[in-house]
Structure 1
Amino acid sequence: MRLYLSSYRLGASAFRLRKLLNGGRRAAVIQNALDFIPAEARRAYETNIYDPKKELADWGIEAEELDLRDYFGQPHALETALAGFDLVWAVGGNAFLLRRAMRQSGFDRIIGELLREDAIVYGGFSAGAVVATPSLRGIDIMDDPRQLAPDYDEAILWDGLGLVDFSIVPHYRSAHDEAEAAEKTVNFLEEAGTPFQPLRDGEVIIVEGRNVTLLPVLPEAMRRSA
């Protein structure tokens, strides 16, 4: 199993993602965590501020969007679509909405099988990283679990994908508007006795088989030369 879980965007260790891909170049970008935002506003943000496909392209990874809504109730079609990719990259937004999309499309079952076969890399940041954990308990301090969009089921899913055995708290003590909520989430998890890993923006967790590594922020020169 190969995972690349970041607090914010690609983080400060994108060179490790490129190595994790073992020469693979094709990525499916999942942006369903943002489905509560009107399409026009999303397009403007992508054009003027941040485009995950461009960020991946800067590291030699050819990316295209894969909208899980197109596969709601069609897991076999999604399985066929995913077979053409080396990486799945799930962006931030609302973790509960993303988790619903993964359940309604069958992605949660399919990705587990692909990872066990070592046929793909799962990566994501913020919400995309959070859903890899065993549970979303505590993340409701950061994200509204009742947030919905058209065609989404109302039921709240508290279980994550279980790809790692600890919770992840992104944006911890970072210059991010969710930093205060992240601090409260850390306090909640500590009091609950839940294993967790806080991530500052720039930090990344890499999983290769049974090896789990927290990558700190490195200077730019070291990242590009590594």
Structure 2
Amino acid sequence: MKYYLSSYKFGNQIEELKQLIPKNNKIGHINNSRDWVGSDPEKANKDQQEEITLLNETGFKAEPLDLKGYFHKTDELNEKLTSLGGIWVSGGNTFVLRMAMKLSGFDKIFEALKNRDDFLYGGYSAGICILSESLKSIEFVDDPNNFPYKGINTPIYGGLGVFNYSFMPHYDSDHFESEAIGKEIQRCIDNKWLFKALRDGDVIIVKK
């Protein structure tokens, strides 16, 4: 799998992103990190459509991929993901995103999906934080006790486990979470937790 990991939105390496477009350029846009209790669904949909438009202008054929439609339908989600060449995972609440991934079975499917050479994982903020082994290091930025879905009422602190370090997006940036991220970074240092800090605009590209 190839990874395009941005601190915020699409970052400053759009030309490099174009080079990562797989032969099958159909990509699913996962917006479930914006499902948190108290969010504005209208704004979430607007933000998703703006990102889908940019993905299409970049060279993808993007479409919404709402994990809620696949809760307890893992086989159907697996079939859908098999038909795609990639996914884009938006920012929001990482813990809410993790719940949606568990209820849909995405986390189990991902174990096989990440071994595909022809698949692209792109995302930002929560969409990259979810890839770490542990989400403990961001619990004071994203509320782990926000439960928008029936069936889960305890936080999930285990991420997808691709990386053994945490991502710290919005570091030293003009972003409302930047100050809280700075405090989380200090907590990582105090606890000797591995992390990578990204300023908005920064992108990490990984080919595994």
Which range, TM-score by smaller chain?
A: over 0.9
Distance in 2 (CA, whole Å) between partners of 1:14 and 1:121 is 14
The answer (yes or no) to whether the contact 1:101–1:152 under 8 Å persists in 2 is no
- Shift in Å at residue 182 of structure 1? 0.8
Question: For 1:121-149, what per-residue CA distance to the aligned partner results, in whole angstroms no more than 9, with x for missing partners?
Answer: 11210000000111101201111001121
Distance in 1 (CA, whole Å) between partners of 2:203 and 2:112 is 23
Q: Secondary structure at the match of 1:147?
A: coil
- Shift in Å at residue 184 of structure 1? 0.5
| Residue number in structure 1 paired with 2:198 | 199
Question: For 1:25-77, what per-residue CA distance to the aligned partner results, in whole angstroms no more than 9, with x for missing partners?
Answer: 2110000000122423434x438xx7110121121111101010111111110
Structure 2 unaligned blocks of 5 or more: none
- Shift in Å at residue 152 of structure 1? 5.3
Q: Secondary structure at the match of 2:172?
A: coil
The alignment covers a number of residue pairs equal to: 206
Asked whether 1:79 is paired with 2:78, we answer yes
Change in Cα spacing, 1:162 to 1:73, as seen in structure 2 (3 Å) is: same
The answer (yes or no) to whether the contact 2:22–2:119 under 8 Å persists in 1 is no
| Residue number in structure 2 paired with 1:96 | 95
Of residues 150-159 and 28-37 in structure 1, the stretch that sits farther from structure 2 once superposed is: 150-159
Q: Secondary structure at the match of 2:153?
A: coil
The answer (yes or no) to whether the contact 1:100–1:152 under 8 Å persists in 2 is no
The answer (yes or no) to whether the contact 1:28–1:63 under 8 Å persists in 2 is yes
Asked whether 1:8 is paired with 2:8, we answer yes
* % identical aligned pairs: 36
| Residue number in structure 2 paired with 1:169 | 168
- Shift in Å at residue 119 of structure 1? 4.0
Structure 1 unaligned blocks of 5 or more: 210-226
Q: Secondary structure at the match of 1:97?
A: helix
TM-score, normalising length from structure 1? 0.86
Distance in 1 (CA, whole Å) between partners of 2:83 and 2:196 is 32
Distance in 2 (CA, whole Å) between partners of 1:22 and 1:97 is 28
The answer (yes or no) to whether the contact 1:88–1:121 under 8 Å persists in 2 is yes
Of residues 88-97 and 50-59 in structure 1, the stretch that sits farther from structure 2 once superposed is: 50-59
Q: Which amino acid aligns with 1:51?
A: E
Q: Secondary structure at the match of 1:64?
A: strand
- Shift in Å at residue 206 of structure 1? 1.2
Q: Secondary structure at the match of 1:51?
A: helix
The answer (yes or no) to whether the contact 2:22–2:85 under 8 Å persists in 1 is no
- After superposition, the CA RMSD in angstroms is 1.6
Alignment of 1:10-159 (within 5 A): 10-36=10-36, 37-43=39-45, 45-46=46-47, 51-151=50-150, 153-159=152-158
Q: Which amino acid aligns with 2:124?
A: F
Q: Secondary structure at the match of 1:116?
A: coil
Question: For 1:146-171, what per-residue CA distance to the aligned partner results, in whole angstroms no more than 9, with x for missing partners?
Answer: 11214351121101101122110000
The answer (yes or no) to whether the contact 1:7–1:171 under 8 Å persists in 2 is yes
Change in Cα spacing, 1:152 to 1:31, as seen in structure 2 (3 Å) is: farther
- Shift in Å at residue 172 of structure 1? 0.3
